[in-house]
Amino acid sequence: MRPLEKRVIVALDVPTPTEAVQLIAQLASEAAGFKVGLELLMGNGLIPLSTALYIRASRFMLDGKFHDIPNTAAKAVRNAASWHPWALTLHCSGGPEMMALAADSARQAAEPRPLLLGVTVLTSLGFDNLVKTGEIPLEVVTALAGNDEAKEAYLRDLVLQRARLAKGCGLDGVVASPKETALLRELGPDFLIVNPGVRPAGSAADDQKRVGTVTQAIRDGADYLVIGRPILQAADPGAALQAINAEVNEALAQPKET
């Protein structure tokens, strides 16, 4: 029988390292890894968390989402690598020079060096948000007015464009929504795709705009799913993660549509 696969990285979005360490102990056997993001990074969480993850041999995704001038971002990557994360994140919108210099830093880190993942477009942003931040030109806004499908396609293309750039700059993969995973797979089987914005059937979307189901993300080729609230806010987080793992394995067992 095929061994069960673990593809879920649990987002440790909790206020204190103590709660996070408890979650690691509770969920490590069912999780592919754990993501430490800005909430915990701004506290005193790195020493207890990196220790807890090291002890459990869990993947440690250090989600700093760097976005700065190339020199600063590259040095942040160099220092972040000293925590021995499995993966680090930065924003692709920081530009090609920033990504390339940061990728050099990641490659120069001690083995096993951290993977560098580029956040393409936050899954909490939809077309209208990007219009407001000026990232979508007004002529495009006018041409696509009232056409939701075309707006989704425009966002998918923007994500693909940023992912291509990230790959060209030497990144190991990207963070994107499940809505874009099928398209991103054209960048090759070895380019990692990590999907946040994943919701088991029946869960609330919360502040996420570009969401998809576990089944959709896995069938389209996501390597890992980053999931927070549907696990953390469940009455029994362990059972919630097990149910998601069952959905993952069912999706992996289904034959691919051609």
Binding-site size, ligand C5P (CB under 6 A): 18
Smallest separation (angstroms) from ligand C5P to the CB of 91 = 9
Phi/psi-derived region of residue 19, left when phi > 0, alpha when psi is between -120 and 50, beta in every other case: alpha
Decide: is 94 part of the binding site for ligand C5P (CB under 6 A): no
- Per CB under 6 A, which region of 122-130, 133-141, 155-163, 235-243 contacts ligand C5P? 122-130
Q: Other CB atoms closer than 10 Å to residue 146's CB: what's the count? A: 6
Smallest separation (angstroms) from ligand C5P to the CB of 51 = 21
CB 136 within 8 Å of CB 142? no
CA-CA-CA-CA torsion sign (107, 108, 113, 114): negative
Q: Other CB atoms closer than 10 Å to residue 133's CB: what's the count? A: 9
Catalytic residues: 65
Q: Of 155-214, which residues contact ligand C5P (CB under 6 A)? A: 175, 196-197, 206, 208
Question: Which of 77, 119, 159, 174 forms a contact with ligand C5P (CB under 6 A)?
Answer: 119
CB 5 within 8 Å of CB 220? no
Smallest separation (angstroms) from ligand C5P to the CB of 257 = 26
Smallest separation (angstroms) from ligand C5P to the CB of 175 = 5
CB 24 within 8 Å of CB 235? no
> Nearest Cα to 232, choosing from 31, 25, 16, 13?
13
Decide: is 226 part of the binding site for ligand C5P (CB under 6 A): yes
Binding letters toward ligand C5P, positions 31-50, x by CB under 6 A: ----x-x-------------
Q: Which amino acid is at 195?
A: N
The residues of the shown chain that bind ligand C5P, judged by CB under 6 A, are 11, 13, 35, 37, 63, 119, 122-124, 175, 196-197, 206, 208, 226-229
